[in-house]
Chains A and B, each alone.
Chain A
């Protein structure tokens, strides 16, 4: 019934209903969460998206929007509800070189946009590690970050305007308010697909820096690398990026096809980059080198050319992939702590890992205090999975205890739902539900994500807007 209505809009070949075909959409970038949509629909034009959304609204159907599915929070999983894939909308609609903005459709891949505007000396600054695959629409939903967000800011800092279709089918243009309205775009960006679907978005483009210097500092102790980070930040230097990788990560990267030439015997490396005007840049690099050495760096190497810089960065950006060599699955965690607490936290993380006999690989945005403790494991082994889950929970609660947060850029999705009540009061979670109701009173968009259901007072009164869904367990039991 619904499938037929959707097929009339997008064509038969762009609606999937059979479970084997839907298996592709069973997980996102985190293998620990799996759920099968009831149906997947892939509109190819803006008009088709609007018409699909209106059919979903008329039939009261819950849905989950999805870009490239590279998310790391389980946020793009549709558990027995409709999956709305937006990757076919790949148009770069307008380029305003004077205003330095681009208007793009949600399915445009992050790196594709940067490549398209590079001939004009511009790039799109937010650079999540998945940038060669992830979409701008997904970036908006997650308020995505990336290594260079230390200097350039996260997705929200680069979004000017968005035309969205709300869950009830209404089309609206949102902006930052600018003195004549509420910052509805600020609320929308990072709402993890719970507030509506982007039809087009105007993003700010950033000039490609005049000059770049990339350094690799090599430490014999993780504490020293974390200490160097704190010193650089405290000194008032604002690097374009400041990334820390520990021994376990270095080992995984150097054993893989992404080998970057990191010193295999180092306890940690710091990948630091400064960019901007030529004048003064060398001084910043020299200062970073001095601060690293003062913190105990064994050696500091400067990338000689663009090729060496690209190689150093490839190791960092492909580190998650490289961990595929270590174990079949990977928990990618995402938490933020005050930058002065990094060294202590890293030691505690190692201790927690040792206690649960798991290997924690740290690769993260040190300059922001944005930790990514990753654990390679085998998701099919229930005993190992339980130990991993327990260790992660302990790590997250330590991050909360020192004044941090449970996600810096990956979002809450499904994965971090349980930590929300530890971080926010009941009244605050309730206010988040109120905000969700402003955009989606029927709560049909990405149901069950971001804010735990029990936090929504009204949810307990109103019937859940979610049909009975086949459980993932039952689906997995199929031959």
Chain B
């Protein structure tokens, strides 16, 4: 009763600038029984469960591109590097790291990997897990781990990289990432495709075929998102469907794909540079609270890498 009357003291905030500093922080927390809430820019705070933390740690001080050889199509950066920074640096070289997750470009590369947040292009251009070649992280015992490598193919040792991706910081805190880049498609066009509902199967077949677009999203699944694009609301005519479609590749490929799309329905060209950031921000599939699978193997994983439950305790359930 007394406790509720007290003004809650704000949790101490930490912004370590290196993996070593973070490791020291984690070790101290382990000794002192403190529990850390870890985040990047703070955009993905809610995984559906409250975090029972005493301290807050941000990766935002571990920022910046530390290595980039455009001809190798690889790049290394701090976990706190924003998606916007990554995009600007690679765009200047005609390249991109097609993480392009749902959400805002103010989000960090580290959080994108830690939450394995994919986006509308993941099916064609790769899930986060496929775009991370290696990473540096600090586990719950304060070990600094250099997982994977910087080259595009690597099977040396057990795969700690895949383990950290999508683990929501409950196995280790990602501090640095080595990414696979791709050349931006020389021609990149975005359309709204309006076609008869009866043509849905043909549209789907096209999207899985040899001329597959970078993305094809049904615009009808959520009535609110066409308006975020500034396009007319979905027609009430129940016999019609609309898709937002992005076609990328060299000129002959795109031209052939656009011809094929035009045979399926009516095409209205959009400004992709404006449309896709809006789509990523506003049309994300609704996040559902995690029902994390705590099978014996997953429990053992958590126990071995974070025995003191220093990292994001409670985020994925009571474990």
Q: Show the binding face of A for B, using Cβ within 8 Å.
A: 142-143, 145, 149, 153-154, 156-157, 166, 170, 172, 176-177, 179-184, 186-187, 189-191, 194, 207, 209-210, 230, 233-238, 276-280, 282-284, 336-340, 365, 368-370, 403-412, 416, 420, 423-425, 427-432, 434-439, 441, 450-451
Contacts of B155 in A (CB 8 A): 142-143, 145, 154, 190, 407-412
Shortest B139–chain A CB gap in Å is 6
Task: Say yes or no: A280 contacts B143, CB within 8 Å.
Answer: no
Shortest A170–chain B CB gap in Å is 7
Q: Show the binding face of B for A, using Cβ within 8 Å.
A: 69-74, 94-95, 116, 127, 129-130, 139, 143-147, 149-160, 162-163, 165-167, 171, 182-184, 186, 208-211, 249-257, 290-293, 295-298, 300-301, 304-305
Task: Say yes or no: B183 contacts A186, CB within 8 Å.
Answer: no
Task: Say yes or no: A338 contacts B301, CB within 8 Å.
Answer: no
Task: Say yes or no: B151 contacts A369, CB within 8 Å.
Answer: yes
Contacts of A451 in B (CB 8 A): 157-158
Complex Cα distance A412/B182, Å? 28
Task: Say yes or no: A179 contacts B147, CB within 8 Å.
Answer: no
Shortest B289–chain A CB gap in Å is 10
Task: Say yes or no: B150 contacts A338, CB within 8 Å.
Answer: yes
Complex Cα distance A282/B252, Å? 9
Given contacts A279-B257, A280-B252, A338-B150, contact A435 B163 (CB under 8 A): yes
* Residue on A nearest B209 in the bound complex, by CB: A207
Complex Cα distance A247/B265, Å? 54
Task: Say yes or no: A431 contacts B256, CB within 8 Å.
Answer: no
Contacts of B301 in A (CB 8 A): 182, 184, 435, 438
Complex Cα distance A407/B159, Å? 13
Complex Cα distance A234/B183, Å? 8
Contacts of A276 in B (CB 8 A): 210
Task: Say yes or no: A368 contacts B292, CB within 8 Å.
Answer: no
Given contacts A429-B157, A434-B304, contact A172 B297 (CB under 8 A): yes
Shortest A129–chain B CB gap in Å is 15
Central interface residue in B70, B72, B291, by most chain A CB within 10 Å: B72
Task: Say yes or no: B253 contacts A279, CB within 8 Å.
Answer: yes
**Of B72, B157, B165, B296, which is within 8 A of A432 by CB?**
B157
Task: Say yes or no: A180 contacts B129, CB within 8 Å.
Answer: no
Contacts of A339 in B (CB 8 A): 71-73, 152
Shortest B145–chain A CB gap in Å is 5
Task: Say yes or no: A177 contacts B252, CB within 8 Å.
Answer: no
A143-B155, A176-B127 are known; give 10 further A-B pairs, CB within 8 A.
A176-B129, A187-B162, A280-B249, A405-B154, A405-B156, A408-B151, A410-B155, A412-B155, A437-B300, A439-B297
Contacts of B186 in A (CB 8 A): 236
Shortest B163–chain A CB gap in Å is 5
Task: Say yes or no: B145 contacts A416, CB within 8 Å.
Answer: no
Central interface residue in B69, B162, B250, by most chain A CB within 10 Å: B162
Contacts of A425 in B (CB 8 A): 144, 146
Contacts of A365 in B (CB 8 A): 153
Complex Cα distance A145/B152, Å? 12
Complex Cα distance A209/B145, Å? 40
8 contacts between A and B (CB under 8 A): A145-B153, A179-B290, A184-B297, A279-B252, A340-B69, A369-B72, A404-B151, A431-B305
Task: Say yes or no: B143 contacts A431, CB within 8 Å.
Answer: yes
